Structure 1
Amino acid sequence: MKKYFLSIFAISALFTSCASEDHIYNDDSAKAYEASGEFFFANAQKELVDQLTTPSVNLNVFRYFSQYWAATLYRAESRYDLTTRDIPDNHWNNLYTQVLANLKKAKQDIMLESKPASMSQANWDKTQKNRLAIIEILNVYTFQILVDSFGDVPYSQSLDVENMPLPKYDNDTDIYSNLLTRLNTAIGQLDTGYGSITATQDGVYGGNVSKWLLFANSLKAKLAINLADVNPTVAKQNLEQAFAAGLIETNTNNAVLTYNSFSPNYNPIYEELVASDRNDFVPATVFVNRLNTLNDPRRPIYFTPLEGTSNTYVGGTYGSTNTQPYQDSYSHIGNKIKQANSPGVLIDAAEINFILAEAAERGYSVTGTAASYYEKAIKASMSYWGVSDVDANAYYNQTNVNYLTATGAWKEKIGNQAWIAMYNRGFESWTFFRRLDFPSIVAPASAYPVAEGKIPVRLTYPSTEPNVNGTNYQTAVSAIGGDKLTTKVFWDLN
């Protein structure tokens, strides 16, 4: 497994040598060398996708929060003991030092690059604007994750180690407002008629500015929908703007990073479960049983059938150890998900269509109906995983799936199906759950007291912060209402 020793206060070390842990980038690990700004962008992009994709409980426990997976031996994380191996610290450090610091370095180096002799000044200026705008868009995406994870976080004074070694924590409401401003500026700078990041250094879109524009608008919709309960006017305005400008509504425009089938750049799920020969997880009963009830055609993709059967799926008990006999007592994580080159996702069509269904229910002007976007979201998920149109239609036409006949109000309908579709995207699933309060999952009886009998709705701050940045930490703790797993981020009102 990877080990991470960097903190937000050690960012400057990244700027004197290679800012990557990947062997492919280190021909001589003892020698610092110059790299292009686009190299740092590529590394930041991969580190971001890695952090959201990895199943390592040292780094990412969001599949546990959504009760997709259960433990087979080490059950502390599924009971919400998150400090044994400093899980919040690692999530925080990776986003600040491996993503944001590399993006900062990318911006600095790109701004210093000289115009190629073969390129006109006008073309160069437009290309530079596109490159810097794309970097800015990923900055906004990353800061949103930090806010949605912790609440108040270092923002205006972050990433400036020399001048602000002990950064203040900014108010999470103010950060969201500023992120929308930054994102709107970046969107205005994108020009689809010119080039951007070199195709080989952009693992998501290959430098395609038109697709980055769709990504930026979709990110704007994600920020906006989270504001729906706390600031409905701003939410409506920004989401309608994003919709009018164009969103990721089809899988052809999904923001995915396709990993290599070889070391060291394969999918971190493969790294943790296959290459490392680990059997730490099985699908959780609560999730498997929901899909069994719905006869969901994604089951043979999400899970393996019980050994000796062709269509029987059995999960493990969430919050417990599920150890013996491991091999033939449970279904396991689906083989397609564990492939070395399986892609990692930043935004996909299923997510955006569920957001549009929610927007329609809230009365936003998004042309279609909630039912139409809900259906598109489900079928986008089916298509992404390779389910046939026949099976997708049969699934949707069930009384307990179809939007017009499914049980519950709109939050329950959308929340339940988003939960199923966001499998393998634990962080986004957790966000849907906190905003919509569905699905109706509960903390296990064995949960640690720190969880107060509830599924966590935020991460606690890194354990180093009280000692290293104590004054600012205490101010933030007072502002958000306590450094607890049960303290809600500002947009989570219900």
Structure 2
Amino acid sequence: MKKIYLIVMLLIGISISCTDKFEEYNTDEKNPVEVPGDFVFANAQKALADQVASTNVNENIWKLIAQYWTETTYTDEANYDIVNRTIPDIVFRTYYRDILADFKNAKEVISGEPAAGDEAVNAKANKLLIIDMCNAYCYQRLVNIFGNVPYNDALDIDNILPSYDNGNDIYRDLISKTQAAVDGLNPDYGSFGANDLYFGGDVAMWIKFGNSLLVKMGITMADVDGAFAASVVEGAYQGAFAPTERCELVYLGGSNSNPLYVDLVQSGRHDFVAANTLVDKMNDLEDPRRTAYFAENLGSGVFDGGVYGESSPFANYTHIADPIQEADFPMTLLDGIEVQFYLAEAAARGYGVSGSAEGYYNSAITASFLYWGLNADQAAAYAAKPAVAYDAANWQQSIGEQAWIAFYLRGLVAWTSYRRLDAPALNIPPAGQTEDGDVPRRFTYPINEQTLNAANYQAAIQLLSPAEDKMITKVFWDKN
């Protein structure tokens, strides 16, 4: 990701943010302003990265659901209360209004912009395909959160009551569109240049992103349609991210700070400590990444996580590592660590990927160690421990546990992995608000959808199995 011009792009982006109502979206009849599509795209990228990074309990509680962190005083969210703060409503609004609407607007504006000459024509084509992949990334997250969501009717300003599409159908269409984008991108030409906040306009990296996303979506469908999943993964894995490559936004600090800094430092609040679920496991494994994940505020080499879901006084438990709380800490959206774990799973399932499950598993661990400032020798020693070494007979447990540790800070990714592989074992909080008190399998639909879009909401429920809008109802790919 290139830092160049980020401040300028974001300042311009302020003027193009969406309104609260779809029918007023980016419309000022008295003072119409033509905003270049590249700037709208950059604004959408920033909004997406902010949503992924945020730990604001009003909109992103997946670091809690994954049991990486727990709360110090107000423990509602750690006990899976998503209703009190209308979290599903805010997630819906953020993705559809603030992110996907801007990607849609960017595509419409760019489509109408003139392009003369071979370079401009091909760069324009690349831009439109990159936006398609960004849309796919967003929609697969929405499906992973809710299940069936508005897709074909979404973002239509003439239809403010969209119907819902089956999550399985959405995934297949996202895979088709992402594959078409990968096939259509031409790395011999440019794209967004410095207006691309993730890759600085590097089309070759966008191709790797697309292939990595295909691997991710393909393996997610493994228990639904194994043959289809295998074909997707096998067709994409060789063009995906290398173990140390990633898609990230590097924040600049100041007014363009990582939301983690805003939530944990700038706010002056002390709402979170490390959760005992993760800390205890890493202590048991003597995991060297503890010093990168956590502060040593209790003493050198001392790590004590707050009991998940219980009130955990800030002064008594291990804090989040200081570097993670820096204003310029980068936010990863997708990386080679994820890809390596997915390929380990693919190999374990017998897919036609070169390399062994153990090899990919160890590669993922090594890449994680390198990212957090450790070295390959430390990773090798760690992977050789009996409690860490890959166990082919229990591959779900091996991959699930180590992926969960390595996906630290990416709570939704970790929660999705947990639901698919049923590993590792997570704690049951004392006052869990799910119907069975255990870890949620999905978010219930927004209250606004239940009341304002009631007919389509009821139809969406009928697409669930069982047809119940509950947190224990599983997303279509969750078959275990």
Please tell me the TM-score bracket, short chain as reference: over 0.9
Aligned to 1:25: none
Aligned to 1:255: 247
Q: What is the 5 A alignment of 1:273-288?
A: 273-288=264-279
For 1:152 and 1:353, locate their aligned partners in 2 and report how far apart those are by CA, in whole Å: 28
What amino acid is aligned across from residue 10 of structure 1 in structure 2?
Answer: K
Contact 1:38–1:198 at 8 Å: present in 2 too? no
Aligned to 2:322: 335
Q: What is the 5 A alignment of 1:193-204?
A: 193-199=188-194, 201-204=195-198
Shift of 1:393: 2.3
In structure 1, the gaps of 5 or more residues are 1-5, 18-29
Aligned residues: 461
Aligned to 1:493: 479
Aligned to 1:160: 156
Contact 1:64–1:77 at 8 Å: present in 2 too? yes
For 2:204 and 2:112, locate their aligned partners in 1 and report how far apart those are by CA, in whole Å: 25
**2:185 aligns with one of 166, 169, 190:** 190
For 1:254 and 1:354, locate their aligned partners in 2 and report how far apart those are by CA, in whole Å: 14
Contact 1:451–1:485 at 8 Å: present in 2 too? yes
Q: What is the 5 A alignment of 1:25-36?
A: 33-36=33-36
For 1:306 and 1:143, locate their aligned partners in 2 and report how far apart those are by CA, in whole Å: 39
Give TM-score, length-normalised by structure 1. 0.90
Aligned to 1:434: 419
For 1:48 and 1:73, locate their aligned partners in 2 and report how far apart those are by CA, in whole Å: 29
Query: What secondary structure sits across from 2:21 in the alignment?
Result: helix
| Residues 395 and 317 of structure 1, relative CA distance in 2, 3 Å threshold | same
The reply to whether residue 356 of structure 1 matches residue 343 of structure 2 is yes
For 1:422 and 1:350, locate their aligned partners in 2 and report how far apart those are by CA, in whole Å: 8
For 2:270 and 2:145, locate their aligned partners in 1 and report how far apart those are by CA, in whole Å: 27
**2:235 aligns with one of 223, 238, 241:** 241
Q: What is the 5 A alignment of 1:56-95?
A: 56-95=56-95
Give TM-score, length-normalised by structure 2. 0.93
What amino acid is aligned across from residue 249 of structure 1 in structure 2?
Answer: A
Contact 2:258–2:328 at 8 Å: present in 1 too? yes
Contact 1:10–1:161 at 8 Å: present in 2 too? no
In structure 2, the gaps of 5 or more residues are 1-16
The reply to whether residue 180 of structure 1 matches residue 165 of structure 2 is no
Q: What is the 5 A alignment of 1:88-487?
A: 88-115=88-115, 121-162=117-158, 164-199=159-194, 201-244=195-238, 246-251=239-244, 253-263=245-255, 265-307=256-298, 309-323=299-313, 326-327=314-315, 329-404=316-391, 409-448=394-433, 450-480=434-464, 481-487=467-473
Deviations 1:410-429 (A, max 9, x none): 00000000010001110100
Aligned to 1:22: none
Query: What secondary structure sits across from 1:464 in the alignment?
Result: helix
Identity of aligned residues (%): 41
Shift of 1:15: 1.7
For 2:50 and 2:23, locate their aligned partners in 1 and report how far apart those are by CA, in whole Å: 22
| Residues 86 and 111 of structure 1, relative CA distance in 2, 3 Å threshold | same
The alignment's C-alpha RMSD in Å is 1.7
Contact 2:243–2:339 at 8 Å: present in 1 too? no
| Residues 8 and 461 of structure 1, relative CA distance in 2, 3 Å threshold | farther
Shift of 1:315: 0.6
What amino acid is aligned across from residue 248 of structure 1 in structure 2?
Answer: F
Contact 2:18–2:26 at 8 Å: present in 1 too? no
Shift of 1:147: 0.8
For 2:72 and 2:191, locate their aligned partners in 1 and report how far apart those are by CA, in whole Å: 46
Contact 1:152–1:476 at 8 Å: present in 2 too? yes
For 1:390 and 1:154, locate their aligned partners in 2 and report how far apart those are by CA, in whole Å: 47
Contact 2:88–2:444 at 8 Å: present in 1 too? yes
For 1:170 and 1:373, locate their aligned partners in 2 and report how far apart those are by CA, in whole Å: 35
Query: What secondary structure sits across from 2:333 in the alignment?
Result: strand
For 1:238 and 1:388, locate their aligned partners in 2 and report how far apart those are by CA, in whole Å: 33
Query: What secondary structure sits across from 2:70 in the alignment?
Result: strand
Shift of 1:32: 6.6
For 2:234 and 2:225, locate their aligned partners in 1 and report how far apart those are by CA, in whole Å: 14
Contact 1:7–1:93 at 8 Å: present in 2 too? no
